[in-house]
Structure 1
Amino acid sequence: MDKVVPSAADAVADIADGASLAVGGFGLCGVPEALIEALLAQGATDLETVSNNCGTDGLGLGVLLSEHRIRRTIGSYIGENKEFARQFLGGEIEVELVPQGTLAERMRAGGAGIPAFFTPAGVGTQVADGGLPWRYDGAGGIALASPPKETRVFDGATYVLERAITTDYALVHAWKGDRHGNLVYRESAANFNPPAACAGRITIAQVEHLVEPGEIDPAHVHTPGIMVQRVVHVPDAAKRIENRTVRA
């Protein structure tokens, strides 16, 4: 039951080329940076990531992006990352943009064993009708576009069918975790970490505070240990601020 591994490098050692990863975080808040840095050093490439955004230039998933290690990403936001925008418009990366709430539910559904669900988000737009650019050709044209999705009417309202997401691995950041893998997230660092932890077949958690089993009140557990396969203690986890505004 002890799921603790000695280092972030050990935790990500078996992630192979072409693997899919659900990654927690929102902007630079709650991002499993130690695991991402270890994966960068490990060398895996041709990755598919699922995350709200793809980090910023040189931080978070941005470090993998800048080394051209990400082949495809599913997310909600490209902003704050000039390299991401450059690669997307230049046809170097495939990007599936998904409404933010839909993305969270697709990951959660994957962990819950729900293959698909209907939502009103995106009805009447290219999200449902198809035609969203997934990959550009590098010359301003669209090389690959999203397909149309099934819609259905319930009680007079139209909904679009969205497929659940499961990934080979999940990388998440937690404030506290025990040796059994029970996790607690702190304040806004919860963001996409809980649904990402659900989506991964192998979920790897970096935790700021590692405690013994029984020290976390069961009522305070956000992600139960049954969903977590590996735990890494990262007491000096980076906590970055994207935009700092102070009085002159």
Structure 2
Amino acid sequence: MRTLIIGGGLSGLALAEALATKGHDFTLIEARDRLGGRILTEHHAGAAFDLGPAWFWEGQPRIAALLNRLGLIAFEQFSTGDLLFEDAQGHVQRGRGGASMEGSLRLMGGLSALIAALTARVPMQNMVMNTAVTALTATASGITATLSNGDSLVADQVILAMPPRLAAQIQCSPALPDTAMAAMRSVKTWMAGQAKAVAVYDTPFWREDGLSGDASSRRGPMVEIHDASPASGGDVLMFLL
């Protein structure tokens, strides 16, 4: 049975690695020129900074098992010190609760280390990059996927490892029910409306002042700030807008 995976983010890539390990026939198609989806790690001065998702938590057994199997190392988010809070009028309060990210974990080398480890276990001949799937057509011999480069692939099953609102842009024949299409288009993609920026400093001055690096604002434009310093190298504040 041949499987077509559409989307090379963490979900699609983890599935591809699992199928490769079991010797199944599959093809993974990714529209971008890189894998990882919304996971994106920038490297500066020997340190790794996550511009996409960054945290995970104890009590998430699947990610813990995956990291353990791949030999990746997690470290605890810095959370010692006070939190700053700015109300809608611009008044800043200190010590209003503990660090908001206390107890969370981050990955040594950034979350792209997870993407790299999974990618290394997926044969390159099973991946098609820089190519989008524009249509899926059910036929007597399987499902034909029409690609943006003009090629086509036939699979026995197709897995959409992508946000539902993006999956809804693929033309399907026969067409999916209107209720299903409406539901897919209405599903919000987590954090899609946010942007992230990092600022690198020579020293973690906020720690010296007894601050955790966590701050939140009801006024904006930066609604959240966190200490995003890596386990070693670089001292960073991360801003969510």
TM over 0.5, shorter chain: no
Bigger CA radius of gyration:
2
Name the structure where strand makes up a greater proportion of residues: 2
**TM-score, normalized by length of structure 1?**
0.29
